[in-house]
Amino acid sequence: MPRHVVFVGNGVAAVTAARTLRRLDADCALTLVSPESPYFFSRTALMYALMGQLERRDMEPYPRDSWAKLGISRRLATVTGVDPARRTVTLDGQEPLAYDTLVIASGSRPRALALDGQSAVSRGVVNFVSMADLTACEALVPSTREAAVVGGGLIGVELVESLLHHGVRVTWLLKDPWFFPAALGREEGERVTAMLRGHGVTLVTDDTAASLEADAAGRVSALITRAGRRVACQMVGVCVGVEPAVGWLRDTPCGGILGRGVRVDATLKTALDDVWAVGDCAELTHAEGLKVEPNWYTARAQGEHLAHNLAGRPTPWEPGVYYNAAKFFETEFTTVGSLPRGAETVLRMHPRKVLSQRIAAVDGRVVGFNLLGSRWQHSTLIGWINTRRPLDWVLAHLAEAQFDGDLAREDLASLVETRPTMEPLG
Amino acid sequence: MTLLRALKHDLTHRGPSAWALSVLLLGFYFGLYLPSETRALGLRVGALSRVSGRDLSGESVFALHLPGLSWWAVALTVGLAGAALHAAFERTDEARPFGEGLAHRLRSTGLPMALLTLLTLPAGLVAARWLDPPTRGTRHLLPTATEHAPWVVVALSVVVTAALTLDGLRRAWRQRAPGPLWTSTASLGALGLFAVYGTHVFDPAAPRPPGERSLAHLGQLFYFALDSRWGLYGALYTLAVLSGGVFMLGRYRASRYQVIRTLAVMVVQCSFGFAIPIVLKLFAWPEFYFSYFWPLKLDALMPETLLREPLVLGLWSVLGALVLVPLAGVFFGKRWYCAWVCGCGGLANTAGEPFRHLTSKSERAWRFERATIYTVLIVAVLVTAAVLAASLIGPGTRPTAVYYGGDGAPGRYLFDPIRSDALVGFAAKARYYYGIVVASVLSGAIGVGLYPLGGTRQWCRNFCPMAAMLGLAQRLGRFRIEVKEGMCISCGMCSTHCEMGIDVRSYAQEGQSFTRAACVGCGMCATVCPRGVLAVTAAPPTQLVQIRRRRP
């Protein structure tokens, strides 16, 4: 009998692992278990669905008949626990499911915000990371004139853009002096913050939510900030980051493998036999830098690695040079490598537009890029970091890494070059 | 505001108003391209309902005979056609078995369309009757007693469809999804009637009772420029491209490629597609469109066209079709024509923009496309070859035959080994049917009429022989959609926005640069990509450091 590989989760890590494993091993039985959606969908597409640009079907990256063709079965169910001794996972309201190999890929869940008056609010407070969140937002938007969004990360800006698209007046609370200080330096951060204000959002910096008020029906009616500002709103978006969704494992016999997430070694294997973990919920015990990396690209790459490991081709996960990309309204953002606080940087900035490149170097060698407003070939930049190119060489060859299409190529000569250090926060 | 939003969603998501708009456009195009055929069809439908042998040309044709068997047959046919259309445009779903799908399509689309046809056939009858020139002059101002029935039904159908449409809109807003087609099929008759009537109003050549004027008679200059239905149609077309273009410029102002491309499309339509032919006419030259080439315009290479035209225009037609178009296709890809110059693409990329996401991305649609588009190309080549051959060896020009005649009397062939009269007859017939099926129905009626249901570029994707030829040229060149490896987030914006039905995401998420014959290079996939993964380009490939570090 072929071995049965059960994946807890139906996100990009689990699905990439399952599809890659099928390519490497034609015989094993594959089952994805998740309560969220019967078909894998792209979580990154949530904002476009909320904006009405995508329908639900458009969010599915693979044709529906491909699952049957590949022999990957999917089970719509909530996993409540794991019994490693009997090799079963227990399901909510369904018979337990037996496994030979278990892959935990339960992803992230939104971090909660403890606010006064929250218990009186039964409707109107949303997160924006799941299919259920999307449906909730869609139901709320038509009756929302004003909304407040808490948190200045990538999910926050997506929710803000979607709400503005529907004509909602948005007040956006950032706890920092400028948008996205986790990645952006002060100079670009302030430029982006001004751009965001230009899109009509009321942007409040250095402040965060303190309490909520509800109307008679239990719908949120106002948000009070730490500084005492009262924001009338019918919807509150909480986007203050995510954490590994592993609470369901806490009180099971598997509790021992938990740290912040599911603790795994370099091969993505846990301390238990035949139990592995991948994606946002995995905590990499061997990593020097980020141990939990909630990122689409990481999850997908880890999924590929895991499949090789499961197929008996040991492929340790090495985090490698970090890269990520995002979009703030019309402005595209690419970051590659690291930009340590206090590092020497070159900042090339357009006099007016949100168009800049910040290049960080340590000991004269390039270690990171923050690129705003145009498109870049990240693999070229990764290559430069890996081969420890000198800063001057990179500045001279920067145009080679541009990825703008025809007629859209930005003229790098129009930028003004300065050499600020990467300012530490606070 | 709420109602407007609901209407927009409904219109762009195959809701009731989309079906109604499609019917309106189809009616308009059939009336425009094939006025006499449409009229004849209307009368034929009238004839089907005839009982007791009453004559079609008499007043009594307006009497309503609902229980007539053929009446039901027409309704049933329309219903089945609706269900088939539904099947053609829906997304395949493994969860629904075929039989169940059939029942669902029949119930949700077939039944309402059949019922509505029963209600609105009288409207078609009235329209056909009203347009029929021989009887128009004697028509009473007010319907006589026997004519009351159809008017009552028309009024009733308008009220019913209006109510259903409003209900559909209400549902569309509440559920954020198009209302069931049940509540839809709005105004099939009322809008169809309007469409047919509209073509009549705009047609200066249509016979009219004394005192009635067509809109085209307003002003002498106007009259000169728009002296035919085609002149007025050209003006409406240009207006649609311009207003849609303004919408595009606003929506994609952040993308330099889209701004420049849209401006190009607008300028080309105003000049080559509209003003220049009129100016040429002012100087007594032929009404010549520099932006249309063989095989899109089959006539361009027809011998009698070339002989009639000034030499320079003929040269442009020949060199354009045989040298410029394919060569530019190899060097720049299909886009230089399909997305920058062509009027069909111009309308799709401006006024048709709100419907671009509707194009089917399924395997099935792709198979259909490959089968049909190359068939049309082959047929176009064969028809052209037949006409050329016929004119080369046709009567009077045959070197192989001995012609006997004299004194101006019709002669006859004494010796005719290749039976060229048969060839001449075949060429004429082939050209006529190509004109009706491809040039009128597929490019006009289907091409634009199905925007709201099947997405823009139905014609470009499935039927256009020019697109087929350019697609082949494109595959020879280095035009491609370049994909940045490892950066795709599979969001689906690119595939959804592809008007040619290419599942761009399936390439992007595999990190695979690609060239597809269908791609018209509109660049929208690259524009909407939120992670800058795609670049539409024909530039030489750069020497990139290909890092596959994160992939085992």
Give the closest-approach CA distance of A51 to chain B in angstroms: 11
A400·B542 Cβ contact <8 A: yes
Cβ within 8 Å of residue A338, ≥6 positions away: A289, A322, A360, A367, A368
Q: What is the mean pLDDT of residues B421-447?
A: 85
| pLDDT score at B452 | 85
Give the closest-approach CA distance of B293 to chain A in angstroms: 26
Spell A386-403 as b/e; 16+ CB within 10 A means b: eeebebeebbeebeebbb
- Eight-state DSSP code of residue B180: P
Residue-wise pLDDT for B150-166, tens only, equals 445 455 555 655 665 56
Residue in A12, A305, A403 closest to B484 by CB:
A403
B-chain residues within 8 Å CB-CB of A382? 547, 549
Answer yes or no: is pLDDT of B393 > 50. yes
Q: Quick one: A105 exposed, middle or buried, by C-beta within 10 A (0-12, 13-18, 19+)?
A: buried
Contact B509, B534 (CB under 8 A): no
Q: What is the mean pLDDT of residues B307-311?
A: 85
B492·A325 Cβ contact <8 A: no
Answer yes or no: is pLDDT of A231 > 80. yes
Answer yes or no: is pLDDT of A401 > 60. yes
Q: Minimal CA–CA distance to A184: which of A381, A331, A4, A386?
A: A331
| Amino acid identity at A418 | T
Helix (H, G, I), strand (E, B) or coil at A269: strand
A406·B537 Cβ contact <8 A: yes
A408·B257 Cβ contact <8 A: yes
B539·A400 Cβ contact <8 A: no
Q: Which residue has the tokens 């597409």?
A: A45
Helix (H, G, I), strand (E, B) or coil at B547: coil
B535·A403 Cβ contact <8 A: yes
| pLDDT score at B543 | 45
Q: Minimal CA–CA distance to B256: which of B467, B536, B445, B454?
A: B536
Cα separation, A233 vs A147, whole angstroms: 5
A42·B491 Cβ contact <8 A: yes
Q: Enumerate the β-bridge partners of residue A282.
A: A262
B-chain residues within 8 Å CB-CB of A167? 1
Q: What is the mean pLDDT of residues A239-260?
A: 89
Q: What is the mean pLDDT of residues B235-239?
A: 84
Contact B384, B295 (CB under 8 A): yes
| pLDDT score at A411 | 86
Residue in A42, A313, A400 closest to B492 by CB:
A42
A138·B255 Cβ contact <8 A: no
pTM of the model: 0.82
A-chain residues within 8 Å CB-CB of B525? none
Q: Which residue has the tokens 């792209």?
A: A42
Helix (H, G, I), strand (E, B) or coil at B410: strand
Give the closest-approach CA distance of B544 to chain A in angstroms: 6
Cα separation, B378 vs A126, whole angstroms: 57
Contact A189, A92 (CB under 8 A): no
A53·B493 Cβ contact <8 A: yes
Q: What is the mean pLDDT of residues A195-218?
A: 93
Contact A185, A370 (CB under 8 A): yes
Q: A71: alpha, beta or left, given left = phi > 0 and alpha = psi -120 to 50? A: left
Cα separation, B245 vs B291, whole angstroms: 18
Q: Enumerate the β-bridge partners of residue A110.
A: A242
Residue-wise pLDDT for A3-51, tens only, equals 999 999 999 999 999 999 999 999 999 999 999 988 999 999 999 999 9
Cα separation, B390 vs B396, whole angstroms: 11
Residue in A54, A321, A383 closest to B493 by CB:
A54
Answer yes or no: is pLDDT of B26 > 80. no
Answer yes or no: is pLDDT of B107 > 60. yes
**Picking from A390-404, B66-80, B253-267, B446-460, which range would have the lowest pLDDT averaged per residue?**
B66-80
B-chain residues within 8 Å CB-CB of A68? 94
Residue in B95, B493, B536 closest to A405 by CB:
B536
Q: Which is more confident, B276 or B131? A: B276
Give the closest-approach CA distance of B535 to chain A in angstroms: 5
Answer yes or no: is pLDDT of B24 > 60. yes
| pLDDT score at B201 | 44
* Smallest CA–CA distance from B354 into chain A, residue: A53
CA A205, distance to chain mean position in Å, is 23
**pLDDT grade for B538, boundaries at 50, 70 and 90:** confident
Contact B218, B146 (CB under 8 A): no
Q: What is the mean pLDDT of residues B300-325?
A: 89
CA B394, distance to chain mean position in Å, is 34
Answer yes or no: is pLDDT of A122 > 60. yes
Give the closest-approach CA distance of B202 to chain A in angstroms: 37
B-chain residues within 8 Å CB-CB of A380? 544-545, 547
Answer yes or no: is pLDDT of B49 > 80. no
**Picking from A6-10, B139-143, B236-240, which range would have the lowest pLDDT averaged per residue?**
B139-143
DSSP result, A315-341: ------S-EEEEEETTEEEEEEE---T
A379·B2 Cβ contact <8 A: no
Top residue of A328, A379, A385, A411 to mutate, by most chain B CBs within 10 Å, is A379
Contact A284, A294 (CB under 8 A): no
**Where is mean pLDDT largest: A369-378, B30-39, B96-105, B413-422?**
A369-378
Q: What is the mean pLDDT of residues A128-132?
A: 94
**pLDDT grade for B139, boundaries at 50, 70 and 90:** very low
Cα separation, B4 vs B257, whole angstroms: 30
Give the closest-approach CA distance of B257 to chain A in angstroms: 5
Question: Cα A296–A297–A298 angle (5° rounding)?
Answer: 95
| Amino acid identity at B360 | S
Q: Minimal CA–CA distance to A371: which of B74, B487, B224?
A: B487
**Where is mean pLDDT largest: A74-88, B6-20, B385-399?**
A74-88
Q: Which is more confident, A406 or A234? A: A234
Q: What is the mean pLDDT of residues A113-140?
A: 93
Which is it for strands A242-244 and A108-110: parallel, antiparallel or unpaired?
A: antiparallel
Count CB pairs under 8 A between chains A and B. Answer: 132
Q: Which stretches of B435-545 are DSSP H helices?
A: 447-449, 451-454, 458-462, 465-476, 493-497, 504-508, 524-528
A382·B492 Cβ contact <8 A: no
Give the closest-approach CA distance of A344 to chain B in angstroms: 26
Q: Which residue has the tokens 């022999």?
A: A71
**pLDDT grade for B420, boundaries at 50, 70 and 90:** low
Cα separation, A332 vs B88, whole angstroms: 38
Q: Minimal CA–CA distance to A404: which of B493, B526, B335?
A: B526
Residue-wise pLDDT for B451-500, tens only, equals 888 889 999 999 999 999 999 999 999 899 999 988 999 999 999 999 99
Residue-wise pLDDT for B368-381, tens only, equals 999 999 999 999 99
Residue in B1, B486, B526 closest to A405 by CB:
B526
Helix (H, G, I), strand (E, B) or coil at B78: helix
A377·B544 Cβ contact <8 A: yes
Cα separation, B369 vs B517, whole angstroms: 11
Query: What is the domain partition of chain B in residue ranges?
Result: 21-130, 151-358, 366-462
Q: What percent of chain A has pLDDT over 70?
A: 99
**pLDDT grade for B44, boundaries at 50, 70 and 90:** low
**pLDDT grade for B517, boundaries at 50, 70 and 90:** very high
Q: B283: alpha, beta or left, given left = phi > 0 and alpha = psi -120 to 50? A: alpha
Q: Which long-range contacts (CB under 8 A, 24 or more apart) does A163-166 make?
A: A163/A235, A163/A237, A164/A199, A164/A200, A164/A201, A165/A50, A165/A51, A165/A52, A166/A51, A166/A141
**pLDDT grade for B445, boundaries at 50, 70 and 90:** confident
Residue-wise pLDDT for A143-167, tens only, equals 999 999 999 889 999 999 999 988 8
Give the closest-approach CA distance of B97 to chain A in angstroms: 12
A-chain residues within 8 Å CB-CB of B176? 138
Answer yes or no: is pLDDT of A267 > 50. yes
Residue-wise pLDDT for A181-198, tens only, equals 888 888 899 999 999 999
**pLDDT grade for B548, boundaries at 50, 70 and 90:** very low
Q: Would you state the torsion angle of the CA atoms of residues A425, A290, A239, A192, taken in this order, to the nearest 10 degrees?
A: 50
| pLDDT score at B52 | 34
Q: What is the mean pLDDT of residues B61-70?
A: 40
Q: B510: alpha, beta or left, given left = phi > 0 and alpha = psi -120 to 50? A: alpha
Cα separation, A335 vs A324, whole angstroms: 5
| pLDDT score at B169 | 59
Answer yes or no: is pLDDT of B54 > 80. no
Q: Quick one: B194 exposed, middle or buried, by C-beta within 10 A (0-12, 13-18, 19+)?
A: middle
Cα separation, A363 vs A334, whole angstroms: 23
Q: Which is more confident, B205 or A175? A: A175
Q: What is the mean pLDDT of residues A364-374?
A: 94
Answer yes or no: is pLDDT of B146 > 80. no
Q: What is the mean pLDDT of residues A395-414?
A: 88
Cα separation, B152 vs B203, whole angstroms: 28
Q: What is the mean pLDDT of residues A236-256?
A: 90
A45·B490 Cβ contact <8 A: yes
| Amino acid identity at A253 | P
Contact B14, B162 (CB under 8 A): no
* Smallest CA–CA distance from A44 into chain B, residue: B491
| pLDDT score at B12 | 84
Give the closest-approach CA distance of A134 to chain B in angstroms: 13
Contact B299, B317 (CB under 8 A): no
